[in-house]
Structure 1
Amino acid sequence: MEKRNDPQLRLGEEFFNQPCLSLAKAFLGKVLVRRYADGTELRGRIVETEAYLGGEDRASHSAGGKRTERNTAMFMKPGTIYVFPIYGILLCMNVSSEGEGAAVLLRSLEPLRGQTLMRELRAARRKEGAPQLKDKDLSNGPAKLCQALNILRCFDRRDLASDPDMWMEREPDTNPAEPHDIVSAPRVGVESHGEWAEKPWRFYLRGNPCVSVVNKDAERQSGSVTDNVRSLTCAV
């Protein structure tokens, strides 16, 4: 495949160096690229993220400022990849942000390029005879995302701003997601962390079919807030 590593589109250190909540929303609409040695590229648009704020955030792997061999990447420079296992066999990918121990979990991608290979990579981890996956189901979850892009444990602690095999890009001629396009909802899978489970720090693009978990209550709430803002703007 043709190589498309355009240095003018690639996101650099300055992009990643922003507060965790801001970065989680800024990732929406950006493109994650995974390139193989032969130039083959897998590409997906980020449509869902979760923010984990570090020491104060009891749902974070770095809660209380705890540093371990596993979470070291969370304390490294913004833009560092943090790959961790769940259930012993699956992987999830995060990106460190500004703030001690803060990072953003990449939850879902909209496949853009390389869907055939993504499907093969996902099929290798599924039961024999399982029905073929639709494009929207290839990377609609954090572990699925890592399988579809063949993100391995060895990517842990690598720098998205300079790594030759994985990076992020802005899409040319595409404006950032507007606030009314972004839904803020509670994070998934942190129910045991009390009040921190209720923090609306999961962000996704409204109406995108590749979002892993749609929260209708959050969508209605954010929709009503947007309508109120529009009404006030028109009144002024």
Structure 2
Amino acid sequence: MPRKRKLLAQISALQSKSSIPPFDGLEALNVTPDRDSSPKSSKYFMVEKKNSSHLELDFFNQPCISLAKSLLGQILVRKLPDGRELRGRIVETEAYLGGEDEASHSKGGKQTQRNTAMFMKPGTLYVYQIYGIHFCMNLFCTGEGAAVLLRSLEPLENLDAMRALRSASRKAPAKAPKDWQLCNGPSRLCQAFGIDKGFDQRDLAQDAAIWMVSGPEPPGEHDVVATARIGIGNKGEWAQKPLRFYLRGNKYVSVVDKKVEREMAALSSSSLN
């Protein structure tokens, strides 16, 4: 018996010296809504901000039209202040080429305080406000003043949180949007993902609150529809240029161009004969 008591005393001593924290230490976590949304006050957790699936600078460092197509099928991730992650698959984009592009905010190489992000490194977010209430999110790419507008997402994870964010952004009560309505438009996806002017000029390849990961399978060339951009207005030939790209047959796309899709189908059919 004395030997057994001695062994129990040794075990008790080892446990008292253990570095494992008590369970209630988890309550010390303090998630803040700033640019780095990882836990700050806990010494017991190491939060890995990046992993191998994150899309890095080399992905965004490509010409505007190429990036607009390459973004289709990729996953946008938004980490909320409470730690939840929203995920959506990109299904629709628009390319804005800068320079001679009459519809671009940087046409003629014009640089202003508002569009500074369009002249930063590839992967930088350019978030601007329209009508004084709605936000739109763009990604800068290769080429001075060139950027890609994210038009629509297919919501994948935490749809209830997206729905709550959409509801909170409205001044008057409205019927809860259906799944396909959550992110089918540039301002809607910003509402659903909690994107505002505070995200302007953030680095999508480095930020801890918003990033992109590779989609499970890139779409084939025949799956991508190229058509005119939406809401360009009186911009001459630039209003008709096929600089909007979307995944054919995806119900989360904001506007479907049936004429172009019929032409694609006819062309595909003739090539098989």
The TM-score, its normalising length taken from structure 2, stands at 0.80
Higher relative contact order (CA 8 A, sep 6+): 1
Q: Considering only aligned residues, what root-mean-square deviation do their CA atoms show, in Å?
A: 1.6
Checking the alignment, whether the CA contact within 8 Å between 2:109 and 2:144 is kept in structure 1 is yes
Is 2:208 the partner of 1:208?
Answer: no
Match of 2:203 in 1: 159
Q: Distance in 2 between matches of 1:77 and 1:226?
A: 38
Q: Which structure 2 segments of 5+ residues have no match?
A: 1-46
Q: Distance in 2 between matches of 1:213 and 1:148?
A: 18
SS in 2 for 1:212: coil
- Structure 1 unaligned spans of 5+: 232-236
Deviation at 1:218, TM superposition (A): 1.4
The answer to whether the 8 A contact 1:122-1:138 is kept is yes
Partner of 2:212: 168
Q: What's the % identity of the aligned pairs? A: 58
Q: What does 1:176-215 align with in structure 2 at a 5 Å threshold?
A: 176-215=218-257
Are residue 21 (structure 1) and residue 65 (structure 2) matched?
Answer: yes
Asked if 1:124 is matched to 2:168, the reply is yes
Change (3 A) 1:153 1:183: same
Q: Deviations over 1:176-204 (max 9, x none)?
A: 11011111110001121010000000000
In the TM superposition, 1:1-236 aligns within 5 A as: 7-126=51-170, 128-171=172-215, 174-231=216-273
CA 1:147–1:186: 2 relative to 1, 3 Å: same
Distance 2:81 2:174 in 1: 30
Give the SS at the match of 1:64. coil
**Aligned-pair CA distance for 1:128:** 4.3
Q: Size of the alignment, in residue pairs?
A: 227
Match of 2:22 in 1: none
Q: Deviations over 1:44-72 (max 9, x none)?
A: 00000000001121110000110000011
**CA deviation vs aligned residue, 1:71-128 (integer Å, no higher than 9, x gap):** 1101111100000000011100000011110000000000000100110111123364
Determine the C-alpha separation between the residues in 1 that align with 2:48 and 2:163: 22
The CA distance in 2 between the partners of 1:5 and 1:226, in whole Å, is 44
- In 2 relative to 1, CA 198–4 (structure 1 residues): closer, same or farther, beyond 3 Å? farther
Q: Residues 27 and 100 of structure 1: is their aligned pair in 2 closer, same or farther, counting only changes over 3 Å? A: same
